[in-house]
Structure 1
Amino acid sequence: MHNKNVFIVFWFCMFSLFFTQKIIAVSLEKLVVLAEDYPPYNYLSEDGELKGIAVDLLVAAYKKAGIKLNPSYIKVQPWPRSYRQLEKDENTMLFSMTRTPARESLFRWAGPISKTKVVLIAKKSRKIRVGFTCELTNYFIGGILDDIGIQLVRELLGYNTNILTSPYANSLAKMLDRERIDLWAYEENTAKLFFERNNLDPNNFESIYTLSESELFYAFSLKTDQKIVDRLQKAIDEVRGNE
């Protein structure tokens, strides 16, 4: 009788584990997944396909979780729109996002994806040099609304800073080149690729101030079940373990 009870308990636990994993897998499948054009982490190729370091890792992690994720399922839109959507909607994921203390409690997190460096970029010919942080208030700083660059500038200098925002990095790269802004607050590697996209020589620009060195993550809305986030984190860890 004792062995029979142990057998029943064993199969009950196995069934419960299978059922729980199935529920989580279905939930992962139903997540709204958002991204922006942010090379080399996630970007649209010339043929319109979403590619990049973060995309490859996410597809591999989903596969580990038993789900096939087609990159075409991921919705690419301007960062400000996606950021607002992540703040208010449930079951939503956005990448790639820099994880900072200020953002920590606003979202749930899985990752990391990659290291990241956010800087202030100037045109070399301007020969801008900053000895003290307060000197940054003398310049017009460009960036994307709700992007980490502008958020860090606000934290550093407050709201009395001369800031010009655009939802598009292409526009900001051109504005910096045409000296419509003095500095561009953005991810260093990503900015270089946007210069190249716009037929601008990256060597004509330089990073003159480091705002942060951190890591990129997949961010989830707070209304997303933590079990879903944990499942993706487990899958990411398994992918990393095989590298």
Structure 2
Amino acid sequence: MGWPYRNNPLVLLAKKGSGITINSVADMNRHKIGVVKDDVGEQQVLALGVDKKALKGSSKQPQVAKKLATGRVDLWSIKLTAAKLILKDLGYNPNDFEVVYTVSESGVYYAFSPDVDDATIKALQQGIDAVKESGEYKTIMDKYY
């Protein structure tokens, strides 16, 4: 059993200042939601009961990011870390966008070969915990994510 080293929620992202508030599936259905076809972002909002008519599919995440930035969709269903990286890569400021709804929570874990002994894994986790407690972890995460 391991501990996640960071959270990576699946969210609905909107442009800041859009005035969009999401409290229910009915709220979601009133907006154009950008998704990548057959991606977890599409699957998860459909599992919530969002009408397929509200979804605007693309084949790649950068296409959806551009649609959100240009107002062709109102929301983007994506993992938050990926959204920030894609927006930066496209030259957008991730701070110009905001989470308006968290679809699901998940963690990111390290995976180890079965031959790695528990003491090594425990030592790594203790190191990660120490970096988090020192405040350096937040600095690193803010820089890259």
- TM value normalised by structure 1: 0.44
> Secondary structure of the residue that 1:154 maps to in structure 2?
helix
- SS of the residue corresponding to residue 29 of structure 2 reads helix
Task: Give the alignment's Cα RMSD to 1 decimal.
Answer: 2.8
Mark the structure with the bigger radius of gyration: 1
Instruction: Report how far residue 166 of structure 1 moved.
Output: 2.1
Residue among 182, 207, 228 paired with 2:74: 182
Q: What is the SS of the residue equivalent to 1:235?
A: coil
Task: Render the CA deviation track for 1:23-48: whole Å, top value 9, x for unaligned.
Answer: xxxxxxxxxxxxxxxxxxxxxxxxxx
Change (3 A) 1:113 1:202: same
Whether 1:140 aligns to 2:32 is yes
Cα 1:157–1:196, aligned 2, differ >3 Å: closer, same or farther? same
Work out the CA distance in 1 between the residues paired with 2:123 and 2:71: 47
1:47 corresponds in structure 2 to none
| 8 Å Cα contact 2:7-2:105 kept in structure 1 | yes
Say if 1:207 and 1:242 are closer, same or farther in 2 by CA, change over 3 A: same
2:12 alignment counterpart: 120
Q: Which runs of 5+ in 2 are unaligned?
A: 125-145
Q: How many residues align?
A: 123
Partner of 1:241: 122
- Higher RCO (C-alpha under 8 Å, 6+ residues apart): 2
Give 1:158 shift: 4.4
On the 8 A contact 2:29/2:51 being kept in 1, the answer is no
Q: Give every structure 1 segment of 4 or more consecutive aligned residues whose post-TM-superposition deviation is greater than 6 Å.
A: none
The equivalent of 1:232 in structure 2 is 113
Residue of structure 1 in register with 2:98 after alignment = 206
Listed as ranges, the matches of 1:29-108 within 5 Å are none
| Residue 44 of structure 2: aligned partner | 152
One-letter amino acid of the counterpart of residue 154, structure 1: L
In structure 2, what is the Cα distance between the partners aligned to 1:181 and 1:189?
20
Task: Give the deviation of 1:164 after TM superposition.
Answer: 1.7
Q: 2:56 aligns with which of 155, 161, 164?
A: 164
